[in-house]
Amino acid sequence: MCGIIGYIGKQNAVPMVSEGIRNLEYRGYDSCGIAVAGDYEIAVRKDVGYVDSVFSRFNVNGLSGNMAMAHTRWGTHGGITQDNAHPHASNDGSVVVIHNGIIENYQQLRRFLQEKGFRFYSQTDTEIIPNLIEYYSRSMPFAEAIKESLRQLEGSYAVVVMRKGSKELYAARKESPLVVGVADDGYFVASDIPAFLQHTKKVIYLHDMDFVKLDGKLEIFNLKTNLSVERKIDSIEWDLEAAKKGDFDHFMLKEISEQTESIAKAIEQDRQVIDEVSDAIKKAKGVYFVACGSSYHACKAAEYKFSSIAKRHVNIALASEFPSYKDFIIPESLVIAVSQSGETADVLAAVRAAKEKGAKVISIVNVMGSSLARESDKLVMMHAGPEICVLSTKTYTAQLAILTLIAYALGEKFEEGRAMLKEVIRYIFYLTSSNFREHIKTLAEKLRYTDHIYLIGRGLQYPTALEAALKIKEVSYIHAEGFAGGELKHGTIALIEHGTPCIVFVSKNTEKEIISNAMELKARGAYIVGIGPEPNEVFDFFIKVREAEEANSICQIIPVQILAYQLALLRGKDPDHPRNLAKSVTVK
């Protein structure tokens, strides 16, 4: 979940990695640091805080060298302190490392090193890596010492390694993302493409157990076999502007506003790809959707769509819990994994559990070359473009659009589904307009000081309530919970008191029952916010979203995305960097 970047080449590496790590700050922003290789020393600067603040404090721009690496941290082991910030150095200062991932056997390795006389100055699992390398380098060549150290690690890692006095940069990955950027004047290695997109669109997606040596040329080895391997160079379709805020104050608002474009791209799928997915579902003996977070909510919505449109049942599972169900999986099963990044650790674990049982895997993902994309039998690309804000907005609705399209194809109504979604895109222009945002801001001003918000929906609106609650609590830190309309009174209604905000999602199919539920809440003093096609006397505040039937899940979430954004601003929170969160959840 951390951001890492390294550069070696003909240019001054400091601005290269400084710019790059700023572009990766969405992956973690507890602390950050940089290491710059000089002729005889490696200069390390690191501290708690955002990149601009820390790098300014240490006058990082005053450093120079042709090889450097930088890191921005999402803490797992140890608190948010300067000692725990990356890079980490070995005891003798000869080896410097940055790392993303979890070393599961770090306590055992730490004890081993302590017995050998090594001291530790942080609480991190990462610090064992440079010290292991120092230890093994006493008896073998440096590159072999790195390989041997990595072979000792259990868990996941993406690492970049520098050695004092050396002109070589090393990197490796296992179950944690790492890509190589190939530029005219040098090489980059990073945890995500936006780190070097302003310098090159040529990228090599590394595989698990790849070990990279960069020293003016590129060499890749397999850590298990120690043999040289070839990896092809791909070209990125994104342009630099897609990964910038442009005229928007925050990436979150930019990405909310881009949903007309991202949904349009999502539904312009190759008909053959969608038909092949549909056929695979028809032939399978058991279909399982696996996902986490917002992607799970998209799959939950798809469960309703597959039932109503295609008259077919599918199973929906949280990826983190899926291994507990693996005994149901047979070779004829189909697993459909949904992930924005394609690097979500729990999703990958679920896919691997399914493949162990012989099941086929289809993935819906936004990142070409990601681990999930490579491990799947078939791939459906979302084409949403880079999503930099930690919160999922445009990728969530892109997932919904693709899942809706698959449901229509499964029901032999593909063109009808695509036509309906194209019509909906026109309405989304209004839902993301400045006038609509101002209306939502009025509601945000009413709710900014509340401690709890409850959200209810029935049928297809139930997953929308779940996702809407997630959006609010992720970025505003207001406690929010989503419920099926009929469930709130089975206990939770005891928490409703005078003025408690309750958001009610309404559609023509659920109107009578959900309005009855809203009245039950109103009778206990709740402040009722209605989102739907028509006003009702029970609503204290109304947000009009026209009836879109199977696309209600797309249209009705957009007002709450905007509400969450406005609440964050009013409460003084940074919507692009919510506390304790990171964009790509690469640890279990």
Instruction: State the catalytic residues.
Output: 2, 583
Residue type, 401: A
Among candidate residues 379, 380, 323, the one with its CA nearest the CA of residue 348:
323
For residue 285, count CB atoms less than 10 angstroms from its CB and return exposed for 0-12, middle for 13-18, buried for 19 or more: exposed
Task: Please give the Cα distance from 13 to 252 (Å, whole number).
Answer: 30
**CA 164 to CA 131: how far, in whole Å?**
14
208 membership: H or E segment, kind and range: none
DSSP run (H or E) holding 129 = helix 128-137
Question: What is the number of alpha carbons within 13 Å of residue 577 lying toward its C-beta?
Answer: 18
Q: What is the CA radius of gyration of the chain?
A: 25
H-type alpha helices, 344-383: 345-356, 371-375
Measured between alpha carbons, how far is 374 from 393 in angstroms, rounded to an integer?
25
- What stretches of 292-333 adopt beta strand conformation (E)? 315-318
Q: How many residues does the chain have?
A: 588
Contact 236, 197 (CB under 8 A): yes
Closest CA relative to residue 196, chosen from 240, 160, 251, 234: 240
Please state whether the peptide bond connecting residue 87 to the residue before it is cis, i.e. omega within 30 degrees of 0: yes
Helix %, strand %, coil % of the chain (to 5): 40, 25, 35
SS (H, E, C) 37-66: ECCCCEEEEEEECCHHHHHHHCCHHHCCCC
Sorted by sequence, the CB contacts under 8 Å of residue 94 that are 6+ apart come out as 134, 137, 163, 164
Alpha-carbon gap, residue 263 to 251, rounded angstroms: 17
**What is the rounded CA–CA span in Å between residue 480 and residue 73?**
27
Judging by beta carbons within 10 Å of its beta carbon (0-12, 13-18, 19+), is residue 357 exposed, middle or buried? Answer: middle
Q: Which two tokens stand for residue 64?
A: 């120079």
The SS3 call for residue 547 is coil
The three-state secondary structure class of 219 is strand
Tokens of 24: 């990766």
Q: Is 426 helix (H, G, I), strand (E, B) or coil?
A: helix
